[in-house]
Amino acid sequence: MLSLNSGMYSLLAHIFLGFATAADGTHYTSPFVPPPNAEGIGWDAAFARAERLVSNLTLEQKVSLVTGFYGPGGCNGNIAAVESIGFRGLCLQDGPVGIRLADLTSTFPAGLTAAATWDRTLLYDRGRAIGSEFRGKGANVMLGPSAGPMGRHPLGGRNWEGFSPDPYLTGVAMSASIQGIQHEGVQACAKHFIGNEQETNRGGVNVDGKAVDAISSNIDDRTMHELYLWPFADAVKSGVANVMCSYNRVNQTYSCENSKLLNGLLKTELGFQGYVVSDWYATHSGMKAIEAGLDMNMPGPITDADPMALTSYFGKNTTAAVRNGSLPLTRVNDMAHRILTPYFYLQQDKDDFPTVDPSTIYVLLQTYGYSPELIGLPPAPPARDVRSDHKSFIRKMGAAGVVLLKNTNGALPLRNVSNIGVFGNGAGDPSEGLYFEGTKAGSTGLGFEYGTLSVGGGSGTGRSTYILSPLQALRERTNARIQLILNNEFIAGGDLSSIFPIPEVCLVFLKTWASEGYDRSEFENNWNSTAVVNTVAAKCPNTIVITHSGGVNTMPWASNPNVNAILAAHYPGQESGNSIVDILYGEVNPSGHLPYTIPKNESDYDIPIVNITGDAATDSSAWQSDFTEGQLIDYRHFDAKNITPLYEFGFGLSYTTFDITGPLEINKVGSINSSFPDPTRKIVPGGNPDLYTTLFEAKVNVTNTGNLTGATVVQSYLSLQGTDVPAGTPVRVLRGFEKLALNPGGWAVINFPLTRRDVSYWNVERQDWQIPRGQATVSVGFSSRDLRVMERVGLM
């Protein structure tokens, strides 16, 4: 593995500097970066074993390790077994909230919900719980977690699968999740690498018989490093087994054949030791993709027109390329090493690793409309129940991910209420089943109109064994009268005459559908949400609004004086009702904080989703998404443009109160001998290890100043100052947080470490992280705008 000594700077500048021009809207292709060989750093014994075993394989066996296929077990993708070396094959399964196509499994809170907890322990425990279910079903690879999309577009269809548009928060969530998943002996897959920030034409389309290339995300070098690559660096540092390359193009080249991304950034700069797997049908070439750094082609066939076809960009084409000399055998060996190493490291070859649950194939066939009996399968065997007591954890995490945005006139928690009104299509049981992959036909792309939304749609969804709705949980929790209207169209019509007497509290359940395959079309919650809230609030002076959503929503009704409380509950998983009722009745004190920014107006966000129509849609060169905003997305954009949000990034209320008592202390704990990290350090997973050296520690006292036990999120932000800080640097960036639970009057000391990477920016010309001259300001508080104490610290 390479170390960044001074002799490499000119080479790296030539390799990577092309990224630097994308911010001005110019487009270009990238020079070729050769593939580095893995060394198994951190996985030494497993790597040595993989090397030894691969040396005894035939070429055909090596190629079988890198070529996917659809096997008979019901996995989303497979790699064939090579029994002679103790390799039983790989089963790859969706998705990030649980096993998508299996029975007797759990549906966990979405990534966005998990991020709203700001709780490292819960993030890790979520990874362990999901990983244990994958292991129990015999899946070797969990296709998650997701750091892409990050959420550049607030209307991105898959934002709910990821964590946050902030790279630091997403990086922490990725690291904790990966460690939890792999603790259970299951391979985590960091996806989608990289710049997959919109669903619209993410992978290419066919317009009137003409193939049109996918959207090209044109990202400059500094933005790539400081924003989009940051959480993937944390994933690699955490030892992630594999990384999935995405459908889109980046700077004109498809991600899965982009050598600058795969060989350059991921494998060379970040020192990634695992394998790169394609998203399904995201491979557009054979030898070009292999030489660019793609190690495994999924699901194998060239197109989804015939998923059982044996034709593949890899397979026999790879064998032929080695034999005719156009592809070095050493490259195939490296691919095989990278694939086998995590398999052995996580001990998936041991007898105690389960085989694939034989019932899984029946679920897959049934889901896609095939009759097992008609194709000669015997009756389905009983499903293997892998849920354990995960429902209790899901309930707990779902509640922890609820953000209390407004609470006036003592609206919450509910006390001694005997007459409750329940309104909105998000309150009841789902009326179209418990599996949310597909959507209804129609121009809006909305699906699943009636019933609570526990997760979003697409391949990232889950197949729930049950979903407990808010209405059911309320009925189980209280003997109060419950009057209800669940039809939004009827409510919006204004006739609430059936509601009598006027409820003491009216609960309005709104929701927003988000799914893979297309982007959201509106900022407000779906299905006449504003009319629903205004109608109910006009009749009920104590209205509480609960939203279940896959991302950012505008709330034009937030200032309505009869709307006394607002709860953003996100996608909470199968215990949707219990999680929110625990908050409503105060059995759980809300502690979630926003992992994104809620605007006052949709125009406050100014990044459009590229959607070309008409004749221009057939021109591949027109599908360009220029990331000209650089790093200024979400709260960074609001800060740079001095826009006041409705609810800022990091915001969240509690039933108690907190304060920072005492000054902010900053101590220098590491020496800074150079603006740049030590170039003699050997690159390890995550990059130059000097980047992760702690240089400063910030210390504050936090006190619960209220009357109830509760938890809050203390957040640390950094502002770089100085004459050599480049233009486009955000006003402030998140550089630390801690979830803290305290009894009334209790206090604690919080320490925030600041590493070299934390206080550096990416120097495009030097191709390295640089600490600027001058000072930085460290600010600590409870959101990106509620900063209670600050202190300056000298850097260089």
Give catalytic residues, as residue numbers. Answer: 279
Q: Helix H segments across 137-264?
A: 167-183, 221-223, 230-237, 259
Edge-to-edge order in the sheet of strand 77-79: 77-79, 90-93, 141-142, 187-193, 242-245, 275-278
Reading the block at residue 670, the tokens are 């590491």
Is the distance from CB of 753 to CB of 694 less than 8 angstroms?
Answer: yes
Report helix, strand or coil for 632: coil
d(CA 170, CA 112): 10
Is the distance from CB of 551 to CB of 150 less than 8 angstroms?
Answer: no
| 48-53-57 Cα angle (round to 5) | 145
Give strand pairing partners of 407. Answer: 565
> Hunting for tokens 């953003």 — which residue is that?
568
483 CB contacts (<8 Å, ≥6 apart)?
A: 419, 420, 421, 422, 498, 499, 503
d(CA 119, CA 132): 20
d(CA 36, CA 267): 7
Distance of CA 115 to the CA centre of its chain: 9
Reading the block at residue 793, the tokens are 């610290």
Is the distance from CB of 159 to CB of 151 less than 8 angstroms?
Answer: yes
Give Cα separations from 145 to 112, 115, 137, 195, 760 (angstroms).
11, 12, 18, 16, 27
d(CA 197, CA 634): 13
40: left (phi over 0), alpha (psi -120 to 50) or beta: left
- Parallel, antiparallel, or unpaired: how do β-strands 216-218 and 694-704 relate? unpaired
